[in-house]
Structure 1
C-alpha cells in the first residue's frame, strides 16, 4: 500500500488525436503511479490505459484525455473523447483469441475489477468517458 493510501488525488492529461499520444499517456501513467507508491499496479494499469486511450484516438477524430484518479484504495483510469456514442461492446473471449485487432475492451473487461462508460455534456462539449477500476489489495 502507498504511504498515504487514504489521500485522494486526480490527474488529467489532454492529448491530441495522434497515435503517439498512446505512448505518452502510458509513460505518464507509469510516472504518476510510481510517484504515488503504486508500483504493483503499474503493469496492469498501463495495459488498461493503453487500450482505453488507443480506442479514443483510433475511433474518434477530436482530442482526447487520460484521467487517473485514486480514491479509497481504488485506481480509476478513464479515457475521454469527443464522440458521445457508446464504445463497441467487448467480444466474447472465444472470439477475441482469433483476432489481431479489436481486443481492447475485452482485455479491459478481463483485467479490470470494474469497467463502464458514460456520456458527458459539460460546457456545451459532448463526448464520453470509458473507464475502468483496479482495487489495490492490501
Structure 2
C-alpha cells in the first residue's frame, strides 16, 4: 500500500465563493488535508488562523477568495488567502521583524465584536505577511495574506 510521506512537498487550492459559510468550509478542508498528511500537531493553530484570514476576506471584500495550503521545506506549512480587496490591513503591511512587540488591545477593543483576528495571526504564526496584487493577465487583483507554521520539535523526556 502506498503511503504519503509527511515531508513530501504538496499544495492544495480551494476556491471559496463570497458566502458566509466559506470560513467553515475552509476550516473543514484544512483539517482534512493536514490530518491526511499526518500533520496533527499543526491542525488547531492552522485552523484558527486560516479561519481568521478567510473571515476577513468575506467581511472586507465583495468577491470570491482562494485558500492555498502548501507544505514546504523543513516541514513548514504556508497558508495563504487571496481576496479581491487590495487594502493590506495592519499589521500585514510590514514584515514581522519590523513591528513593535505586541501590546494589549485598547480598552474599547476588548468589548468590540471584532478586530483581534490578525493579532492572533501575528502572535501565533511563525512568520506572516501580505502584499497587494496588481491586475494580471486574467484580470485578478486584490491582496494575498499568508502565514507559516513550523513543526514543533518532539519533547525530550528525561529517563
Q: TM-score when scaled to structure 1? A: 0.90
Runs of 4 or more consecutive aligned structure 1 residues displaced over 3 Å after TM superposition: none
What is the aligned residue count? 136
Q: 1:119 Cα shift? A: 1.6
Structure 2 residue 126 is the aligned partner of structure 1 residue 113: yes
CA distance, structure 2, for counterparts of residue 103 and residue 12 of structure 1: 26
Q: State the structure with more CA Rg.
A: 2
Q: Which runs of 5+ in 2 are unaligned?
A: 93-101, 154-159
Q: 1:77 Cα shift? A: 0.7
Q: 1:30 Cα shift? A: 0.1
Q: Which runs of 5+ in 1 are unaligned?
A: none
CA distance, structure 1, for counterparts of residue 16 and residue 64 of structure 2: 6
* Structure-1 residue corresponding to 2:77: 75
* Structure-1 residue corresponding to 2:26: 25
Structural RMSD (CA): 1.9
Structure 2 residue 40 is the aligned partner of structure 1 residue 53: no
The structure in which a higher percent of residues are strand is 1
CA distance, structure 2, for counterparts of residue 100 and residue 119 of structure 1: 27
